[in-house]
């Protein structure tokens, strides 16, 4: 009855704020799951390839070569996932366009930022197993299994 314009606007925007907060929470959970998934896959791959890594190092592969090999493997998966995710997001953004304020539904900076965030998280997830692979002792690895 005697509500101010500010109260009316705050009430009408409340649902959108709740949706945006909920979307942010789910995005954070998704990012965490992506981090754990990439870490798990690359760690498993390094564990399965310990003997191969030992042979490579015994035959003269430098630690930096092993590091690059593991990072390349993991980041290839991350790059493919980022590309597929960007394509899916481009299609889904039309559905959630009403929730975006001040951002065009096809803003390239938003897509680039999302892809960059995924690539950074992917790099972090691949770094620990790659360093572990780099520190493999060839003699111990050849006795492995």
* Residue 64 falls inside a structural domain: yes
Indicate if the pLDDT at residue 99 is higher than 90. Answer: no
Number of domains in the chain: 1
Q: Is 125 exposed, middle or buried (0-12, 13-18, 19+ CB in 10 A)?
A: buried
> Is the alpha carbon torsion for 42, 48, 50, 55 positive or negative?
negative
* Residue 27 falls inside a structural domain: no
Q: At what angle do helices 50-58 and 63-92 cross, to 10 degrees?
A: 140
User: What is the average pLDDT value for the chain, to the nearest integer?
Assistant: 84
The mean per-residue pLDDT over the stretch 9-25 comes to 81
State pLDDT tens for residues 29-83.
Answer: 998 998 899 999 999 998 898 888 888 998 998 999 999 999 999 999 899 988 8
* Residue 17 falls inside a structural domain: no
- For the CA atoms of 23, 25, 26, 32, the dihedral, rounded to the nearest 10 degrees, stands at 140
Indicate if the pLDDT at residue 16 is higher than 80. Answer: no
Provide the domain limits for residue 53: 36-143
């Amino acid at each position: 009855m005697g509500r101010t314009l500010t109260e009316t606007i705050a009430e009408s925007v409340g649902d959108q704020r709740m949706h945006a907060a909920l979307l942010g929470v789910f995005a954070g959970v998704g990012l965490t799951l992506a981090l754990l998934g990439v870490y798990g896959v690359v760690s498993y791959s390094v564990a399965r390839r310990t003997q191969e890594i030992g042979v490579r190092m015994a035959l003269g592969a430098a630690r930096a070569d092993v590091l690059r090999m593991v990072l390349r493997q993991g980041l290839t998966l991350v790059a493919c996932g980022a590309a597929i995710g960007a394509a899916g997001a481009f299609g889904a953004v039309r559905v959630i366009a009403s929730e975006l304020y001040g951002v065009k539904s096809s803003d390239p900076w938003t897509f680039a930022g999302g892809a960059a965030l995924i690539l950074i998280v992917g790099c972090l997830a691949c770094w620990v197993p790659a360093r572990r692979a780099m520190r493999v002792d060839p003699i111990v690895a050849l006795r492995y299994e």
